[in-house]
Structure 1
Amino acid sequence: MPELRFTVLGPLRAWREGRELRFNRARDRAVLAVLLAAAGRPVPVGEIVDGVWGEEGDEAPDRVGALPGHVYRLRKALDGPAAERSGASVLRHEGKGYRLDVDPEAVDRTAFLAGIAEAATARRNWQPERARSLLSDALALWTGRALDDVPGPFAAHERRLLDGRREEALRHRRDLDLELSGSTGPAPGARAVRRPFQLPPDLAEFAGRQTQLAEIAEVLTGPPGATAPLIRVTGPAGTGKSALAVHAAHRAETAYPDGQLYADLRGVGPEAVPGILAAFVRALGVEESAVPSDPADRRALFHRLLAGRRVLVVLDGAPAVEPVRPLLPTAPGCAALVTLAESNEPGAGPDGGHTVRLGRLSPADALFLLYRLLGPARAAREPHSARALAAACDYLPGPLCRAADLLLRRPSWSISALVPPVLGRQRCGG
């Protein structure tokens, strides 16, 4: 099997045993782009046709019939003379589709996505230097605009996806630059207190929730009180608690110049709290060897590090407030924003915390969110179907985002095709 290597983070290019291959026809490159995204797995003919031609109508009346010609030219370019003689092609007809039998690791897309995933893990483990190095290596793979010379709806979708991940990686690296360069004076047990910026990226497609955002902003950006305020965000699954908390925290960023600490508590129990507290202390600049082993001492150090500072702590998916109380700041000037399940915190509680409850979006806000997710042009072509889809999703942000993602991955699908029976039967609940 010939050694092949591919790049899609720029113009689509390929090399066989160090020699660059040529794909002169744009449609050939479009077919190759679809197959590369599923490298090593068969892709149905219909999916290839949708990704290359989309909804072209009479302009391409026999798209299925045209596909074998594109596959023939790609096979000839990819295999080389040795493979032609042996009959062992890397591009094979399999079932009702085609399979490009190459290692996904031979595509720069794989290395890029793996690199930013490893960087995210390093950030969660409070290894900012390693995270920044991984992001820099991943970003160095780019040579231009993704799939710059490839036509078709699949390439357009893949381009948006990859460009979005690149922008996200750039933002994360800028945050890490600030975290690693910023210090604001010594504290007990620390070299220098760092300014951690650990929030997940904000959502560009956020919509609605203006009343709740105003409630949170009033608490977070008001004058400091005698203690750190606590804001609970509650609501059923699918109401967008995490998105609201992260969006509100980004909006309040200037009010907390000493940083933001973040922990994803979904799926973890109270036994994880000491480890998260140790991670918070390390994020604030304490050497690993200086982190106290006793949980009470660790908590005391955490509060000493926050004294006199303005730091926002965001805890996402907590089971309740009490199990995570060691992670909550108490110093004036700091604040905590915690997302909880609907039933866990029925009232404000004895600590005087402020509770923000989420339910469905209004029909107008749900439709606006769908327009932002799909793009105004696509949603405007089917306004009635867009409204039906918003209703089928019960006007909940989570199901709407999942439905929009499915449509974006299938550019040829109409919105109306998704409502019955895929969503209409299940009410898109979550």
Structure 2
Amino acid sequence: MQLDRGEIPLAASREQRVLAALLLDANRVVPMSRLVEAIWDEHPPTSSVKVVRNCVSMLRRRLVTAGEIGTESGGYVLRVPGDDIDLRVFADRAQHGRRLAAAGELAGAVVHLREALALWRGPAFTGVTGRLIEAAAAQLNDQRRSLQEERLSHELTLGGGVELVDEIADLVAAEPLRERAHGQLMLALYRAGRRTEALRAYHQVRRLLVGELGIEPGQELAELHRAILKADPRLAPVTAPTAISRPEPSRPAAPTPARPVPAQLPASPHAFTGRTAELDGLCGLLDAAARAGTAMVAVVSGIAGVGKTALAVHFARLVVDRFPDGQLHVDLRGFYPTGPPVDPGEAVRGFLAAFGVPAQQLPEGLAAQSALLRTLLAERRVLLVLDNARDSTHVRPLLPGGPGCLTLITSRSRLTGLVTTEGAHPITLDPLPLGDAHRMLIRRLGAARLTADPAAVTTITARSAGLPLALAIVASRMVSHPHFSLRAIAEELELAHGGLEGFTGMDAETDVRSVFSWSYRALSGPAARLFRLLSMHPGPDLGAVAAASLAGVPPSRVRPLLAELAYAHMVTEHTPGRYAMHDLLRAYAVERTDIEEDSAERPAVTHRMFDHYLGSAHLADLRLHPHRDPIRLPAAVLGVTVAVIGDREAARAWFSQEYPVLLNLLRRAGSDGHDVHAWQLGWAMTTFLDRRGHWHDQAIVQQLALEAANRVRDRDGQARAHRNISIAHLRRGLHGEARDHLWHAVRLYRGLGDQVGQARTLLNLGTVAEHRSQPRLALRYAEQALRLFRAAGHRSGQANALNNAGWYHSQLGNHELALHHCQRALALHQEAGNRYWQAHTWDSLGCAYHHLGRYSEATECYRQALSLWREAGERYYESATLTHLGDTHLAEGERSAARGVWREALDIVVELGQDAGRILDKIRTVTTG
């Protein structure tokens, strides 16, 4: 065994297997049961846990300089820096290479893929035995071979041929059934002038496929054979520059942003067993679709808990290498017990975002967004898993139209509409046969424990009715209590009131509820209460601090309870520190809440939850924008814990993680009676959404905030929501809509006698007027705002108005007057410590100096502004200042410097989905002039 820090001698095979299992899940907790399985494929002794502990103790002494093995609840974790694990470095470099390839930068991609492959010193885990490790090694070796094939494909595209023949021939000899490698060998031989050998290679692989698998070669291989027969000139070697399309001589190419390759598939399901017929059927359908050149859509349906998602994800993982353009996954929550299903439009926008489409570039309406998704998928080979769909209309907007995609849909309904109108292939999933259910328990518990009492095992599998979810809960209980006899567990399932005795012949959902009932009773009292309260959270997931506020206890007390729930499979820790609940478990938790929780306590739980998220969002907003006009939050009730958010980066991370939860809270605020929380949440989310360029989402959030403020007739909340909706519209070029919302806000502020609110809104109206090419009107708005700020004694607002007025004077040619206004504004902003608005003012000063011919002073002002924009994470205005700086460089005759900063601005504009035409024209001017 070897880490980057040097050779680590391990004489005992048990130590090797334990270390291998820990390395496979480095920096994650590996349960004791998995380590036992790593050492003993079958029949572990009664001393197995002790042996594992001894192995870990020995490894700790040997890994003093290479890593640390920590003890966690239920297992161990090997803590190693990511850069010290070749597998992690291999994956990172491979991913980077694939991104470059997706962007058309094949030469750079080849370099990174070669670096990734160079990390291999031979087959994975050479010399380490054991079924678990050998299976993992086989998967890793397959990843290596797939990446090698990708690299060879890129080199062939770049003109390679004769120098690749031997390497590809070795690949073919090692894996004779991999069609892609055969195709690469044929092309390399043809490029090397060995056409006869290339044709012979095709006939050899055809005989092999027909003889071994009973199938003809795939469409790509057959087409390559025909092209070689015809000596198609497109097969001739090309050079790398020719392989990438060139721009017209008079129009230099704009930098091409890397095309994202989403990889959203969940991890392979643990202990997946059986389903051979279904997997074979899916493989056959996929091969037939590939030969026919059509897309494939499959609907996997069945009763709750039968393993529909596990089958879809497992099959997706098996064929993932056939879809190089990415994998998309969404849980549509079609049968979510405490909230509405995921809106198809929300899912479509999530997929578009995964492909790098900025939110502000989205067309309006679901139909247009769905069409854009189909357009993006038309020329791509992408795998989609649409999990937990409610009905056919739930998924239709998400279906691709191109021939290269595979779509797997899971649902409790049969979705016959898709079968009838879309040609989807129905696959009905039945419960596992007793043999497969038995094998699933063996994989989870080991054969030794099960062979002790086969009659009890038969009872357990029969009472579980072949439902994988029920089997997983039973297995979790048996792991949790290794001293329990199988007979005792079987008798408990048969005799306990509300147990599993009713599984056979009854409604499956009731059966699963019975399994949940005894698993629930095994929880400690505090964990059971937390399980109930989690059902009141809107989802899709939550962290420990939010859970603590639900329960009204400190986070230190709730973390062990979450660990207990996760260990019992009552919640899932899908990412470190984030917990989600299966929808059936949530339904059961709702029932237990109705039965056991005092109805008078439930509003208090909901109130604590809203207080937690509002207080945390408000704190995060202040970290991003500490000089916003304040709002008065409702007093938090006892038991609420606010998230710890120390700086800007922490605030951005918190908002990115919690945004789906905040959106769900806004949607249910009316029914829960927390409309004040709702409009204030919308206010707190404004800065994050605006600076990230999520203007489509901003419009949705602020509309929900406006509806909440309307319900409680809070005119201040209404005015703020109107202003924030206008900003979202303005950023997307909807100037008329932005103006209408701003005038609504003006009237509300006048009615409130709020001079500062009026002035802020007038500044926004000035920005709209500027975008509508009305600088004189914009200046009048800024001067009116200045008078209101002065009347209110609001010095920060005065500085904003002075800066805006100065900027508009520059647009009108009054540059000395602009300089005077902006210098006064800067002094006020520096006095208040408002660094964000200092950036605005430095940019305005730079513009004035530029037009006065004082270029060195203009350059210094722009550099000051850029530093502050980057500090604030403000990408939109950073691109504007870079554009202005380029103008100044050009005026000084520094064409190369101008082109450099304009290219930086172009990158940001492309990232945000803004119109890049003006910057491209500037770049062309200095390139061709």
User: Structure 2-normalised TM-score?
Assistant: 0.28
SS, match of residue 314 in structure 1:
strand
Shift, 1:172, TM fit: 10
Match of 2:310 among 232, 243, 253: 243
Q: Show the 5 A alignment for 1:389-428.
A: 389-422=460-493, 425-427=499-501
Query: What is the CA–CA distance in structure 2 between the aligned matches of 1:318 and 1:282, rounded to whole Å?
Result: 21
Shift, 1:146, TM fit: 3.5
Structure 1: which amino acid aligns with 2:500?
A: Q
Shift, 1:293, TM fit: 3.7
1:207 aligns with 2:273: yes
TM-superposition CA deviations, 1:238-280 (whole Å, max 9, x none): 2111111110111111111111100011226466211111110
Query: What is the CA–CA distance in structure 2 between the aligned matches of 1:358 and 1:415, rounded to whole Å?
Result: 29
1:260 aligns with 2:327: yes
Shift, 1:186, TM fit: 5.8
SS, match of residue 300 in structure 1:
helix
Q: Is the 8 A contact 1:224 1:332 kept in 2?
A: no
1:195 aligns with 2:261: yes
Aligned to 1:369: 440
SS, match of residue 146 in structure 1:
strand
Aligned to 1:278: 349
Q: Is the 8 A contact 1:274 1:295 kept in 2?
A: yes
Aligned to 1:145: 69
Match of 1:182 among 98, 107, 111: 98
Query: What is the CA–CA distance in structure 2 between the aligned matches of 1:269 and 1:280, rounded to whole Å?
Result: 20
SS, match of residue 388 in structure 2:
strand
Structure 1 residues 270 and 237, CA, compared in 2 at 3 Å: closer, same or farther? closer
Query: What is the CA–CA distance in structure 2 between the aligned matches of 1:270 and 1:413, rounded to whole Å?
Result: 41
Match of 1:313 among 384, 391, 394: 384
TM-superposition CA deviations, 1:291-328 (whole Å, max 9, x none): 33432222122112112211011011001222211111
Structure 2: which amino acid aligns with 1:244?
A: L
Match of 1:299 among 370, 384, 389: 370
SS, match of residue 384 in structure 2:
strand
Aligned to 1:30: none
TM-superposition CA deviations, 1:73-119 (whole Å, max 9, x none): xxxxxxxxxxxxxxxxxxxxxxxxxxxxxxxxxxxxxxxxxxxxxxx
Aligned to 1:49: none
Structure 1: which amino acid aligns with 2:383?
A: L
Aligned to 1:231: 298
Shift, 1:341, TM fit: 0.7
Show structure 1 runs of 5+ residues with no match: 1-36, 38-54, 57-141, 148-153
Aligned to 2:605: none
SS, match of residue 258 in structure 2:
coil
Show structure 2 runs of 5+ residues with no match: 1-28, 30-45, 48-65, 105-255, 504-510, 513-929
Query: What is the CA–CA distance in structure 1 between the aligned matches of 2:440 and 2:306, rounded to whole Å?
Result: 13
Higher relative contact order (CA 8 A, sep 6+): 1
Q: Is the 8 A contact 1:241 1:358 kept in 2?
A: yes
Q: Is the 8 A contact 2:269 2:314 kept in 1?
A: yes
Structure 1 residues 286 and 173, CA, compared in 2 at 3 Å: closer, same or farther? farther
SS, match of residue 419 in structure 2:
coil
Structure 1 residues 291 and 225, CA, compared in 2 at 3 Å: closer, same or farther? farther
- Aligned-pair Cα RMSD in Å: 3.4
Query: What is the CA–CA distance in structure 2 between the aligned matches of 1:399 and 1:346, rounded to whole Å?
Result: 30
Q: Is the 8 A contact 2:294 2:402 kept in 1?
A: yes
Structure 2: which amino acid aligns with 1:412?
A: H
1:358 aligns with 2:275: no
Point out the structure with the larger strand share. 1
Q: Is the 8 A contact 1:179 1:197 kept in 2?
A: no
Shift, 1:330, TM fit: 1.2
Q: Is the 8 A contact 1:199 1:261 kept in 2?
A: yes
Q: Is the 8 A contact 1:221 1:252 kept in 2?
A: no
Query: What is the CA–CA distance in structure 2 between the aligned matches of 1:299 and 1:349, rounded to whole Å?
Result: 21
Query: What is the CA–CA distance in structure 1 between the aligned matches of 2:494 and 2:417, rounded to whole Å?
Result: 31
Query: What is the CA–CA distance in structure 2 between the aligned matches of 1:346 and 1:324, rounded to whole Å?
Result: 11
Name the % identity.
30
Structure 1 residues 252 and 290, CA, compared in 2 at 3 Å: closer, same or farther? same
Query: What is the CA–CA distance in structure 2 between the aligned matches of 1:387 and 1:225, rounded to whole Å?
Result: 45
Aligned to 1:348: 419
Structure 1 residues 359 and 172, CA, compared in 2 at 3 Å: closer, same or farther? farther
Structure 1 residues 338 and 307, CA, compared in 2 at 3 Å: closer, same or farther? same
Aligned to 1:386: 457
Shift, 1:178, TM fit: 5.9
SS, match of residue 403 in structure 1:
helix
Structure 1 residues 423 and 351, CA, compared in 2 at 3 Å: closer, same or farther? farther
Structure 1: which amino acid aligns with 2:448?
A: A
SS, match of residue 427 in structure 2:
strand
Structure 1: which amino acid aligns with 2:300?
A: V
User: Structure 1-normalised TM-score?
Assistant: 0.57
Query: What is the CA–CA distance in structure 2 between the aligned matches of 1:172 and 1:314, rounded to whole Å?
Result: 26
Structure 2: which amino acid aligns with 1:208?
A: G
Shift, 1:230, TM fit: 0.9
How many residues get paired? Answer: 278
